[in-house]
Amino acid sequence: MQQLYRAVDEILNTIDFESIWHGFTKYDFALYDKTRVCYRGKIMTKDERFLGNTAIQLDNQIIAIWKIETPEQEDSELLASNLVHEMFHAFQRQRGEFRFPNDLALLNIPDDAAYFQMKYFENQLLCIACKSKETAEKRRCLEKFMSQRKYRDTVFGNIVKQEFLAETIEGMAEYTGCMALKQISLQKYEEKIESYLKKLGSVDNELFDIRRQLYYSGAIFCMEMSLVGSDIWHEIGKEESSFFEISATSVSPKNLMKKGGNPLPAKIFEEYRNKTEKLFQDFTNPHPKEHHGNWHIYGYDPMNMVRWKNKILCSHFVQLKNDENGQELFLEGPVMLTLRENTNNGVIAFACEKNLR
C-alpha cells in the first residue's frame, strides 16, 4: 500500500493542474482497504469516514480518498487520474460549489421508453461530434446535441435538470481526471475516451445506468466544447447554472429525431424493465426480515442503488436516521428500502440480509 502511495504521489507531482482548470491544485489523498489507510505515506487504522471513492474532511482539510482491493494489481497511472477526479471534488467543495443534484430524485427515472430513446439519440450526436475531425463539423454536431437535449428537457422536466446538475459535478470532475491522464499517458487517455464513446453508443444496460453515463457524457461534452474554442472555465461557487445550461444558452430546443423513428428497440427497454424487476424479486425470495418505522436516508452510495417503483435496492450500503428519536443505522448491502409515498428519501420499511450496525 505504501509503495503504491509513493508511486501515485510521484505521478501526481508531474501534473500541471492549473492547465486543467484555473485555480485547481493538487490535494492530499489517502488510499485505503478494509482495515488500513495510507495517508501521507503512513499507515493508520481505517474508520467510518472512509466509504467509497470521494473527498472527505480529514485533519481540518478536504482530501481525496480511493479504496484499494489489491495494491499490487493497481495501475498507478490510472489510479492517479482517478484521484484527480476526487481532488476536483475537494476543489469544488472548497470553492463553495452548490450545484449538486438530488441523487435520490435522479434514481426516479421515468418508466417511459421515449425517455431512453431520446437519451440514446443524444448520445449518438455527442459521439459523432467527438469523432468529427473538422472543427466546424464538430460544432454543428454539438449544436444538434444541445438542441435535442433541450427538447428532452421540455418533455421530461425535473429529471433532466437533475442530469444537468450531476453532469456538472461528476462530468466536470471526470473531465479533469481525463485531462490529467492525457498528461500522464496519451495512450491510456485515448483508450479511456474510446471506452467512453463505446459506452455512450451501446444499446444495452449501459444506457439505463443514467448516473454513471453522466460521467462519460459530461467529460466528453467538456472536452468537445473546449476543442471548438468555447471557454469552459467558470468560477465555481458563484455560477448558478449547470455547465450544460451555460454552454447551450444560444441553442433552441428542437426534436431532431425522425418522425416515427425509434433508435432504441422496444425489446431492449422491456429487457431492462424485466431485469430490474427481477433484481427486487430475487432479493425478496427468500424474504429477509422487514423492519417497519419512519426513517430518512442520510448516507448512501449513489453508484450502487437501483429504484423500482417505491423501492430502492442498495447493493453497497445505506445510512438511515430515525425520524422520531434520531437513531442512526448503518446498513451493509444488500438492503431493500420501501419509500413513503411521494418521497425520494422517506423510508417506511427496510430489509437486509446482514446484521444491523
pLDDT tens-digit profile of 279-302?
A: 999 998 877 789 999 999 999 988
The whole-number pLDDT of residue 261 equals 59
pLDDT tens-digit profile of 35-87?
A: 999 999 999 999 989 988 999 999 899 999 999 999 999 999 999 999 999 99
d(CA 81, CA 8): 9
The whole-number pLDDT of residue 305 equals 93
Q: Which range among 74-88, 202-216, 226-240 shows the weakest confidence by mean pLDDT? A: 202-216
The whole-number pLDDT of residue 265 equals 67
The whole-number pLDDT of residue 42 equals 94
Which one-letter DSSP state was computed for residue 236?
T
Residues 6+ apart with CB under 8 A from 174: 85, 215, 216, 218, 219
The whole-number pLDDT of residue 260 equals 55
The whole-number pLDDT of residue 285 equals 84
Please tell me the pTM assigned to this model.
Answer: 0.92
pLDDT tens-digit profile of 79-127?
A: 999 999 999 999 999 999 999 999 999 999 998 988 998 999 999 999 9
The whole-number pLDDT of residue 314 equals 94
Q: What is the DSSP string of 243-265?
A: HHHHHTTTPPP---SPTT--SS-
Residue 357 predicted with pLDDT over 60: no
Residue 228 predicted with pLDDT over 90: yes
Share of the chain above pLDDT 90, in %: 83
The whole-number pLDDT of residue 259 equals 64
pLDDT tens-digit profile of 130-169?
A: 999 999 999 999 999 999 999 999 999 899 999 999 999 9
Residue that is written with C-alpha cell 432479493 in the block: 283
Residue that is written with C-alpha cell 505504501 in the block: 2
The whole-number pLDDT of residue 262 equals 61
Q: Rounded mean pLDDT of the chain?
A: 93
Distance between the two ends of the chain, CA-based, in angstroms?
28
Contact present, 235 and 24 (Cβ < 8 Å): no
Q: What is the mean pLDDT of residues 266-276?
A: 87
Q: What is the mean pLDDT of residues 248-257?
A: 94
The whole-number pLDDT of residue 224 equals 97
Contact present, 53 and 82 (Cβ < 8 Å): yes
The whole-number pLDDT of residue 293 equals 95
What cell was used for 295?
Answer: 426513517
For strand 311-314 and strand 305-308, is the pairing parallel, antiparallel, or unpaired? antiparallel
- Crossing angle for the helix pair 186-201 and 76-94, nearest 10 degrees? 70
Q: What is the mean pLDDT of residues 213-221?
A: 96
For residue 334, whether the previous peptide bond is cis, meaning omega lies within 30 degrees of 0, is yes
Which of the four pLDDT bands, split at 50, 70 and 90, describes residue 206? confident
Report the amino acid identity of residue 34.
K
Residue 180 predicted with pLDDT over 70: yes
Other beta carbons within 10 Å of 92: 22
